[in-house]
Amino acid sequence: MCRRRNLSWCDASRKEMSHMRYTEYGLHITLAELRRLLEYAENRARYGDMESCIYIKGGERPIITQYCVYAECNPINHTCLVK
């Protein structure tokens, strides 16, 4: 059984994600935001039953996803607030 709580990157960091956006060159993310995203992903891997890796799906609107080690859990979309 997955112990994952309904916490997500979106819930935890709505105010801090304001600079991430899609541009004609791809996903624009500051180094500080990338550091925060990675720290959050590492924390979720260590304490929240999430995989210790992230998946980046390319395309016109790239998506950064972290999956749960259990099939019953929902993945975390780290790009959920990108405009």
Residue 4 within any structural domain of the chain? no
Across all residues in the chain, what is the average pLDDT?
80
Domain limits for position 39 = 9-77
Q: Could you write out the DSSP letters of every residue in 23-44? A: ETTEEE--HHHHHHHHHHHHHH
Residue pair 40/83 in contact by the 8 Å Cβ criterion: no
Residue 3 within any structural domain of the chain? no
Residue 39 within any structural domain of the chain? yes
Q: pLDDT band for position 44 (50/70/90)?
A: very high
Give 61 or 3, the one with higher predicted confidence. Answer: 61
pLDDT of residue 52 exceeding 60, the answer is yes
Residue 24 within any structural domain of the chain? yes
Q: Using CA of residue 51, residue 49, residue 12, residue 41, what is the dihedral sign?
A: negative
The secondary element (H helix, E strand) that includes residue 45 is helix 31-47
Q: pLDDT band for position 6 (50/70/90)?
A: very low
User: Full-prediction pTM beyond 0.95?
Assistant: no
Cα separation, 50 vs 59, in Å, equals 24
